[in-house]
Amino acid sequence: MKVGLRASDNPRAKGAKVINLELFRAKAAESSKRIGVLLINPGGPGGSGFDAARSLATALPATIRNHFDIVGWDPRGTGRSTHIQCGDRLDYLFNVDTAPDSATERRALERVSKRFAETCAKKSGDLLSNVSSFDTVRDMESIRSALHEKKINFLGYSYGTFLGALYARDYPKRVRSMVLDGAVDPSLSPEASLIEQAQGLGRSLKLFFNWCDSSNNCAIGARRASRGYEALRLAIDKRPLRLKNRVFGPTQFDLAVSSFLYSGEAGYEYLAAGLEELLNGDPATLLESADAYVGRSSSGNYDGSWSAFLAVNCLDGPSLGNEVELAAASNRAGIAAKDFGAASVGLGYPCAAWGAKALLGDAQPISAKNAPPIVIIGTRDDPITPVTWAEGLAAQLGNGHLVVAPGAQHTSYPSRDGCLDPIINSYFVRLRVPPDQASCPAPQVVIAKGFPVI
């Protein structure tokens, strides 16, 4: 479907600037039971809603698939829709240290970040200023209208919870039900958000160490996994591995570890295996994981998801500031979250040279008190969106109902356990609102969905 480039653009007008949105739709399995559409966003920003909906069309519980059309779309700027263009060979962006510990490393990070930002501005043109979350929320309303639905049901993961909260605020009467899994807290400053996320990854890493110390199959050091890990990370920082046409350095290391931690306990064995291979001089498993995290194919081309991630975040704001302010923020983050803090700030350096001005000057809480009750899922040891963020969003919305799920993975629904899924299914189908602060016990087996949401 086509929407206007700007809110004021009529896509039907002659000569109008338009954006194409690519949609996926799987109709309700039982038409006689159909309630409406379930619109899905997997997060990112930059994640493909088309792919997520196509996957969830078979992975969601049968009662959801029976009652709802499963609909997803690639938001403007991403994937199959009209997308941001920043070049498809981006190795240069990750071959520098995003947690620089010298002036030389910092200048290198600034140089490649500026190159990336300038390339995005040159190749993307007017689109660069029109891919904000606020634009995407207007697109969600256009999708609802195009599907001839009076109201939507929405399932948003991670960054998708921000879109859902904005939609509930701006179009409260168009919401039938809404579940926000792995919630973002919009009231936090960008620095606080990055630090708390990095601290969450650090806690998740410690859970991995605990698992490793009690395992017979963890090669980085029985009963002292953290020491083995830190020594390995330091060695890669001092002397990155040079491969044929590739570099495996500290940035690839951090991205790979983060990627495995997304899956919680389900990723521990794979992370341990990758670290063991690295100890033996082979970074293949970790490099493959880092590549997947940023959308790099084996041919060396990038799929655009990382470009979209930065484009939306830089445009939304608030900004961390210029390069001097970023350097100070990086130092503070490195102290507050030693394993991932500085790198989290470093990955956002292109925003300092971005070709479009940030829309938000300050972080703003979101209230949607005129919308129906909204269910927020917080996973107890979520490595990416701490459960405190879910608590914060539930309080801000004015009608949020928090459900805490067990596990150390990023997001939880569907979980295939006997607690969370029935709560969410009943809410979607029967509008049965769970009591606030509901909590599910830990299941015997945790199954991670594995959607890559940043």
DSSP letter string, 16-37: --EEE--EEEE--SSGGG--EE
Return mean pLDDT, the chain.
Answer: 94
Amino acid at 49: G
Which candidate, 401, 371, 24, 369, places its Cα nearest to that of 176?
371
User: From the CB of residue 59, how many other CB atoms can be counted at a distance below 10 Å?
Assistant: 14
Give the pTM.
0.95
Encode pLDDT of 228-263 as tens digits: 899 999 999 999 999 888 999 999 999 999 999 999
Q: Calculate helix-pair angle for 159-170, 133-146, nearest 10 degrees.
A: 70
Residue 282 has pLDDT above 90, yes or no: yes
Give the other-Cβ count within 10 Å of 58's Cβ.
9
Mean pLDDT for 435-451 is 64
The CATH number of the structural domain formed by 23-83+131-185+364-439 is 3.40.50.1820
Task: Give the per-residue pLDDT at 449.
Answer: 39
> What is the spatial distance between Cα 293 and Cα 253, in angstroms, rounded to a whole number?
11
For the ranges 30-34, 92-96, 330-334, 447-451, the lowest mean pLDDT is seen at 447-451
pLDDT at 446 over 60: no
Supply the pLDDT for residue 13. 78
Identify the band that residue 7 occupies on the pLDDT scale cut at 50, 70 and 90: confident
Judge whether residue 56 has pLDDT over 70.
yes
Q: Return the axis-axis angle of helices 103-124 and 305-316, rounded to nearest 10°.
A: 90
The residue-averaged pLDDT of 258-270 equals 96
pLDDT in tens, 331-357: 999 999 999 999 999 999 999 999 999
| Kind plus residue range of the DSSP H or E element containing 343 | helix 341-346
pLDDT tens digit string along 122-173?
A: 999 999 999 999 999 999 999 999 999 999 999 999 999 999 999 999 999 9
C-alpha pair distances (Å), 7 with each of 137, 160, 237, 446: 11, 21, 46, 43
For the segment 361-404, what is each residue's pLDDT rounded down to a tens digit?
899 999 999 999 999 999 999 999 999 999 999 999 999 999 99
Whether 221 shows a pLDDT value over 70: the answer reads no
Distance CA 243, CA 23 (A): 40
The confidence band for 450, taking pLDDT boundaries of 50, 70 and 90, is: very low
pLDDT tens sequence across 167-215: 999 999 999 999 999 999 999 999 999 999 999 999 999 999 999 998 8
Please tell me the total number of residues recorded for the chain in this structure: 454
Question: What φ, ψ does residue 436 adopt, rounded to 5°?
Answer: -65, 150
pLDDT of res. 430: 98
Based on the number of CB atoms within 10 Å of its own CB, is 99 exposed (0-12), middle (13-18) or buried (19 or more)? Answer: buried
pLDDT in tens, 238-247: 999 998 889 9
Q: How many CA atoms lie within 13 A of 120 on its CB side?
A: 31
- The pairing of beta strand 68-73 with beta strand 23-26: antiparallel
Task: Extract the runs of DSSP E, i.e. beta strands, from 92-250.
Answer: 152-157, 175-181, 241-243, 246-248
Numbered ranges of CATH 3.40.50.1820 in the chain: 23-83+131-185+364-439
